[in-house]
Amino acid sequence: MSAQASVTATARLHLGFLDMNGGLGRKFGGLGLSLDSPATRLTLTRAPANRVEGPESERAARLLEKAQAALTPDARHSLVVHEAIPAHSGFGSGTQLALAVAAALRRLEDLPHDPAADAAMTSRGARSGLGAGLFATGGVVVDGGRGPQTKTPPVIARAEFPEDWRVLLVSDPTAVGLHGSDEREAFATLPPLSEAASGELCRLVLMQALPALAERELAPFGAAVTRIQEIVGDYFAPAQGGRRYTSAKVEQLVAGLLAEGATGVGQTSWGPTGFAFVESEAAARRLVERFAAAAGAQELALTIHRGLNRGARIEAVYARIA
C-alpha cells in the first residue's frame, strides 16, 4: 500500500454546450479544453481522524467524507490542499477538486481509478461530462450529453490540442460566475434552445472544430468556437444581465483581442473569465504587450496558457518495509 497520494488537476475551459433543446432524448453535451494552469494540488495520507487544511478546505472536507463513505467507510485521512483553482471563475474548480480528492483516496487505498464514477459519486457532472473527461485524458473533449439513464455524460470524442497554439485568458477578480442556486434557477427557467440552433452547434463541433484540430488549422477552429460562443452566449444572456459575458470589462477586452488578430473568443462557462486563441507564443506575447495597459486600467489580468494533452497527475509514495 502507498503511504501518501498526491494529485495535480488543472483548470478547464468550457467552450460551449451543444444541445439545450433535448428533442433527441439527450441534453447539454459540450466542448472543453484542458489548460496547463491554474491547478489544484493536494496530498492525502492516512490518519487517526480526518484533518483537512489549505485553500478550499471546507469544501474539500465535505468531498473527502463523501468519498470515504462510498469507498473506504472505515478509514480516516489527512488532506492538505496546497493550491486550488479559483472558484466560480469558469474553470470547473469544484469538479476538479472533487475528482482529485477521490482519485487520491483511490490511489492511497489501492482502488481502481474511475473519474466518471467519482463524478457521479461526488454529485458533479449534472450537466457536463467535460470535467471528468478532461481529468482523465486532457486535450480537447466532447461529451455526449445527459440521457434518461446517464450517470456521468460520456466522452464521445477527443483531440490533441496543438502544442504551438496558445490560449489568452482575461480574468476579472471583481466578478464571479453564476453558481449554486442561481445557476440551478437559470437552467430551470431558460426556455429550450431551438432545434435549428442546436443543430448548428453540433455541426460546428463535428464538421469544423474537430477536423480543424486534427489538421492543426487555427482559423477554422477559432471561427467555430467564436460562433458557438455567440449562440450559447445569446441563449444564456437573460441570466447574465442581458450580455453574452458576465463581466462587461472582460467582454470589451476580448473584443479588442479579436480585432487585433486573436480568434476563437468567448467566455468559459458562466465566466467571468474570457478567452482567445492565437497561433504561437510570439503572437500571444505581442497581444499581451499590446493590451497590458488597457487590462491594468480595468483591473483585469491577461495571461498566456497552453493546452494540456494529458490528464491529472496522480502519484503515490510507498512506505519502506524495515
Q: What is the pLDDT of residues 181-232, one digit of tens each?
A: 888 888 888 999 999 999 999 999 999 999 999 999 999 999 999 999 999 9
Contact yes or no for 247/172 (Cβ under 8 A): yes
Contact yes or no for 92/130 (Cβ under 8 A): yes
Q: Is the pLDDT of residue 166 over 90?
A: yes
Q: Which residues pair with 141 in a beta bridge?
A: 32, 158
Q: What's the average model confidence in pLDDT over 284-300? A: 98
Task: Please state the separation of Cα 163 from the chain's center in Å.
Answer: 19
- Report pLDDT for 17: 96
Residue 319 — pLDDT band, cuts 50, 70, 90? Answer: low
Domains and CATH numbers, the chain: 1-160+318-322 (3.30.230.10), 162-306 (3.30.70.890)
Q: What is the pLDDT of residues 40-97, one digit of tens each?
A: 999 999 999 999 999 999 999 999 999 999 999 999 999 999 999 999 999 999 999 9
Residue whose C-alpha is closest to residue 273's, from 184, 181, 177: 177
DSSP sequence for 49-107 = S-EEESTTHHHHHHHHHHHHHHH-TT--EEEEEEE-PPTTSSS-HHHHHHHHHHHHHHH
pTM metric for this prediction: 0.94
The rounded distance, in Å, linking the Cα atoms of 34 and 284 is 18
Q: Poorest-confidence range of 46-50, 110-114, 152-156, 314-318?
A: 314-318
Q: Is the pLDDT of residue 20 over 90?
A: yes
Residue 2 — pLDDT band, cuts 50, 70, 90? Answer: low
- Report pLDDT for 1: 57
Going by their DSSP bridges, the two strands 77-83 and 28-46 should be labelled as antiparallel
Percent of the chain with pLDDT over 70: 98
Residue 161 — pLDDT band, cuts 50, 70, 90? Answer: very high
H or E stretch covering 229: helix 218-236
